[in-house]
Amino acid sequence: MTVITLSPSGPAALFAEFDRRHPQLTRYGLVLLVLGAIAMALQVLDPRTLASGVNIWVKPAKFLVSVGVFALTTAWFMGYVRPERRGGRLMRFTAWTLIASGSFELLYISFQAAQGQESHFNLSTPFHIAMYALMGIGAVILTATTLPLAWEIVRRPAPGLQRSFVAAVAIGLVLTFVLGGWMGSYMSSQPGHAVGQVGGGVPVFGWNRLGGDLRIAHFFGIHAEQAIPLLGAAAAGLPARLRWSAILGGSAIYAALTIGVFLQAVAGRALVPA
What is the pLDDT, as a whole number, of residue 82? 95
Task: State how far the Cα of 127 lies from the Cα of 89, in Å rounded to an integer.
Answer: 35
Count structural domains, the chain: 2
- Give the number of other Cβ atoms within 10 Å of residue 256's Cβ: 10
221 shares a domain with 148: no
* Whether residue 103 sits in one domain with residue 198: no
Cβ atoms of 139 and 184 closer than 8 Å: yes
Same domain, 21 and 156: yes
Does residue 250 lie within any of the structural domains? yes
68 and 197 housed in the same domain: no
What's the pLDDT at 8? Answer: 58
Where in the sequence is the domain holding 155, given as residue range(s)? Answer: 12-161
* Same structural domain, 253 and 183: yes
Closest to 224 measured CA to CA, from 129, 143, 110: 143
CB burial readout 43-56, b (16+ within 10 A) else e = beeeeeebeeeebb
Task: Please report whether residue 2 resides in a domain.
Answer: no
Within a domain: 1: no
Q: Are residues 147 and 18 in the same domain?
A: yes
Chunk the chain into consecutive blocks of 10 residues (it has 274) and report each block's average pLDDT, rounded to whole numbers: 54 92 98 98 96 93 98 98 94 98 98 96 96 96 98 96 97 98 93 89 88 96 98 95 97 98 96 86
Asked if residue 88 and residue 27 are part of one domain, the reply reads yes
Total-model pTM: 0.93
